[in-house]
């Protein structure tokens, strides 16, 4: 019974906002979930995965599944990842973020970023309750979720949520898996850009959300991995972000595989790229050294 209680606590889904959802339009909830592919998210949540107390090391990761800002791939790029993070003593928080849609948002371009900022704020506020280190809170994203994670890591000085206590919205580290970074016509992912910004965004909006152009010397340390044969999101997204990080003196690791396509469905093996990610976390004092 105690084990069941611990498991229930370790996988608890909570509303992201305790009261009113900012930037929202009150309409009927049309969210659907088929095979853990979620559409039409208008009520964002955090699913809390806590590691066993004996394994916990204080580090935590907010996980942003991908899906082109049109769906959320919640199992493959969410629950699976959270369970693996727990095995290494890392607390995981799966962010079910709002999918940009003028039907449910006054400004669809900032809706996902508001949710990422609220997730960081929530985890930092409740660090004591969840027994995590408020200085070791990272954000991880896959594909369009990688765009959201990199946006949170480059736009944290602009606050899009209520934050009266001025809690830091800066993630302490970023993990990007085959991420969308740019929304430019040249290398950006058109579907993600259209879903986030609309069909005819201004040049200013495209620049603002092209995160390779928004890196500064205070951007958090970053781990990137991508496949050279990715025909959905070109590898140049990761390369351009890495180059910007390097130019600003931000520590970063980048691992490029010749094969893997988009989604790493066949290769590289999960433990290959995920193991490199854990190794990077160890080298940055985010995890204890392996014994």
CATH number at residue 129: 3.40.50.1820
Decide if 6 is inside a domain: yes
Q: Report pLDDT for 185.
A: 83
pTM for the structure as a whole: 0.95
Which structural domain range is residue 205 located in? Answer: 2-14+29-283
* For residue 200, pLDDT beyond 60: yes
Res. 186 pLDDT band, cuts 50 70 90: confident
Res. 289 pLDDT band, cuts 50 70 90: confident
Decide if 213 is inside a domain: yes
Mean predicted lDDT score pLDDT of the chain? 94
* For residue 114, pLDDT beyond 80: yes
The residue-averaged pLDDT of 65-78 equals 97
Decide if 56 is inside a domain: yes
* For residue 3, pLDDT beyond 70: no
- Distances in Å between the Cα of 276 and the Cα atoms of 68, 91, 126, 269, 284 are 25, 18, 29, 11, 12
* For residue 5, pLDDT beyond 50: no
The residue-averaged pLDDT of 180-201 equals 92
Res. 1 pLDDT band, cuts 50 70 90: very low
Q: Report pLDDT for 291.
A: 54
The residue-averaged pLDDT of 209-225 equals 98
The residue-averaged pLDDT of 84-103 equals 97
Decide if 209 is inside a domain: yes
Q: What are the beta bridge partners of residue 92?
A: 49, 61
Q: What percent of the chain has pLDDT over 70?
A: 96
Decide if 240 is inside a domain: yes
Decide if 288 is inside a domain: no
Decide if 221 is inside a domain: yes
Decide if 21 is inside a domain: no
What single-letter DSSP state applies at residue 105? B
Rounded CA gap, 130 and 10, in Å? 10
Total domains in the chain come to: 1
Tokens of 192: 């993600």
The residue-averaged pLDDT of 163-177 equals 97
* For residue 10, pLDDT beyond 80: no
Yes or no: say if 93 and 140 are a contact pair by the CB < 8 Å rule.
Answer: no
The residue-averaged pLDDT of 218-246 equals 98
* For residue 39, pLDDT beyond 90: yes
The residue-averaged pLDDT of 161-184 equals 97
Q: Where are the beta strands (DSSP E) in the chain?
A: 11-15, 32-34, 37-39, 45-49, 60-64, 71-73, 91-96, 137-142, 173-177, 222-227, 252-257
42 C-beta neighbours (distance < 10 Å), count: 20
Q: What percent of the chain has pLDDT over 90?
A: 92
Q: Report pLDDT for 2.
A: 42
């Amino acid at each position: 019974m105690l084990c069941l209680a611990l498991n229930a606590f370790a996988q608890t889904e909570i509303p992201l906002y305790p009261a009113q959802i900012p930037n929202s339009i009150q309409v009927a909830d049309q969210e659907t979930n088929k095979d853990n592919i979620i559409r039409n998210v208008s009520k964002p949540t955090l699913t809390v995965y806590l590691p066993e107390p004996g394994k916990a090391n204080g580090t935590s990761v907010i996980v942003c599944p991908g899906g082109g800002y049109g769906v959320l791939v919640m199992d493959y790029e969410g629950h699976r990842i959270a369970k693996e993070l727990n095995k290494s003593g890392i607390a995981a928080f799966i962010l079910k973020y709002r999918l940009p849609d003028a039907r449910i948002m006054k400004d669809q371009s900032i809706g996902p970023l508001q949710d990422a900022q609220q997730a960081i704020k929530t985890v930092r506020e409740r660090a004591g309750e969840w027994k995590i280190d408020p200085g070791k809170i990272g954000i991880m994203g896959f594909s369009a979720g990688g765009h959201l994670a990199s946006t949170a890591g480059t736009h944290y000085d602009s606050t899009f949520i209520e934050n009266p206590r001025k809690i830091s919205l800066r993630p302490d580290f970023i993990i990007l898996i085959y991420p969308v970074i740019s929304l430019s016509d040249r290398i950006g992912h058109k579907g993600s850009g259209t879903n986030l910004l609309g069909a005819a965004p201004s040049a200013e909006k495209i620049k603002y959300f092209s995160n390779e152009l928004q890196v500064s010397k205070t951007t958090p340390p970053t781990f990137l991995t991508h496949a050279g044969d990715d025909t959905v999101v070109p590898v140049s997204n990761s390369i351009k972000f890495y180059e910007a990080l390097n130019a600003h003196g931000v520590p970063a690791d980048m691992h490029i595989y010749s094969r893997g396509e988009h989604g790493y469905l066949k290769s590289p093996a999960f433990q290959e790229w995920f193991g490199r990610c854990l190794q990077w976390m160890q080298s940055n004092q985010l995890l204890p050294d392996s014994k």
